[in-house]
Amino acid sequence: MKIMLKTYRLRDRQLIETNGGTRGANLILMSNPTTQEREHVCAQLNLEPITFDYANSAEEVSRFHRLYSDRMPDAYLLVVYDFIATRKTIEDQLSPAIMIFNQHQLLVCTADWSSAREVISHHLDESDQPLQLVNHLVNYWQDHLMDGLRAYKPEIDRLDQAANATIENQELRELTDLTRQLVFFEHTMDDQSSALMAFTNSLQANRLDSTEVQTMQTKQRRLNKMIHICRDLLESISGLFLGMMDNNLNHLMKFLDSAGLIIAIGALVTGLMGMNVGGIPWKNDVYGFWIIFAVIILALLVAIHYLKNKDYSK
């Protein structure tokens, strides 16, 4: 995990790296900050010490609100999420992106700082205003999230086909794991939707073009729709798995009950014929055993025919 803190000045719509600390910088990029770096930045900009406590954790909460700092006046905090597909677990893939900005400064804390820098550099020709750069970054991260969700669709389709063909422990484990990932995704997107709604309804967003605001809102609605579609598809597959398991169990119980009944018929006849009392039929007959055996076989065949043709739906 690479730790990094870099500062830049935005001059003539170019990024110029500085070594003079955060105070004189227009752009501050942080990635996986240590406790010392977080404390240093908070002290330099007079921010609350807890601002970056969950900067490296999926437990961070998306939010938008104003900050009160005499060293960064009229500043706002916006927390959204990026999706880093190269990481293994969903907790690591959903990575918080923290942005603090006012009219002259922008601080970005994200795990993928190099991509954030490229996005900012790419859009500097259009505008070097922090608010515009925030808009471009949010759109970029929303595209990452959508790509991550789309990657789940082939896996959902494969599990759907498997559910129609067989029930294996491997498919059940994969279904559980995929459901867990989408639960993380869904709750993260619910938080992000609320944060972006607060942002797009704020006075800050009034300085953005209406088309840009609408694009951000539309992308978030598509994310919400996609996550709900994936969750509903998984629930239907899970229901199919459970239904097939119940059906197989019912067939097994039907077979065991039928087998038990058939065996019980033979046991009943032999038990009756084995009583040590007088009057037992064919007791002294040389063919008595075969007669009783034939009676048992006949009774079993009648029972099998009856059970085979019985309508269990009534």
As a dihedral over the C-alpha atoms of residue 260, residue 261, residue 267, residue 268, rounded to 10 degrees, the angle is: 150
In a domain, residue 183? The reply is: no
In a domain, residue 260? The reply is: yes
Give the confidence band of 309 by pLDDT, cuts at 50, 70, 90. Answer: confident
Distant-in-sequence contacts of 85-93, Cβ < 8 A, 24+ apart = 85/144, 85/147, 85/148, 85/151, 90/58, 90/180, 90/181, 90/184, 90/185, 91/58, 91/184, 92/58, 93/148
Give the confidence band of 302 by pLDDT, cuts at 50, 70, 90. Answer: confident
Q: What is the DSSP letter of 204?
A: G
SS3 283: coil
Radius of gyration of the chain (CA): 35
In a domain, residue 186? The reply is: no
Does the pTM of the predicted model rise above 0.85? no
In a domain, residue 63? The reply is: yes
Domain boundary, last residue among 112, 147, 174:
112
pLDDT tens per residue across span 221-268: 999 999 999 888 888 887 767 767 777 777 778 878 878 887 887 787
Domain boundary, last residue among 112, 139, 174:
112
In a domain, residue 131? The reply is: no
| Share of residues in the chain with pLDDT > 90 (%) | 33
Range of the domain at 55: 1-112
What local confidence, expressed as pLDDT, does residue 203 receive?
A: 85
For residues 35 and 32, give the distance between their C-alpha atoms in angstroms, rounded to a whole number: 10
In a domain, residue 174? The reply is: no
In a domain, residue 148? The reply is: no
Token pair listed for 190 = 């619910």
Mean pLDDT of 2-25: 76
CATH of the domain at 2: 3.30.460.20
SS3 21: coil
What value does the mean pLDDT of the chain take? 84
What domain count does the chain have?
A: 2
In a domain, residue 244? The reply is: no
Domain boundary, last residue among 94, 112, 130:
112
pLDDT value at 293 more than 70: yes
105 backbone dihedrals φ, ψ, rounded to 5°? -130, 150
